Amino acid sequence: MEWNYNLEKAPLDTPLKLLSGDDCFLLPQREYVGTITMNKCGEYRTRGECIDGDPEYFYRSAIVAWKNIE
């Protein structure tokens, strides 16, 4: 399955493969297993839980794409 760059289509609170951006040399592009959730006010989607991968990079990096876990 290819990466889906439309984060609005990502299922909420479901473990997914997530891809970080590659636009910052301090935060290299990485793959994670994590969730997308709604922020506390319910206004926009944001990173949820980091299930697999470096949590420090996960919470600092921009998530740009997602795909289902195979």
Q: What is the mean pLDDT of residues 30-50?
A: 94
The pTM of this model reads: 0.89
Cα 37 to the center of its chain, rounded Å? 10
The pLDDT value recorded for residue 17 is 98
**27 closest CA partner among 60, 70, 5, 49:** 60
pLDDT tens track for 5-39:
999 999 999 999 999 998 777 778 999 999 999 99
The answer for residues whose C-beta is within 8 angstroms of residue 70's C-beta and 6 or more apart is 1
Strand partners, 47: 36
Cα–Cα distance for residue pair 13/4, rounded to 1 Å: 17
Confidence category of residue 67, pLDDT binned at 50, 70, 90: very high
The pLDDT value recorded for residue 23 is 79
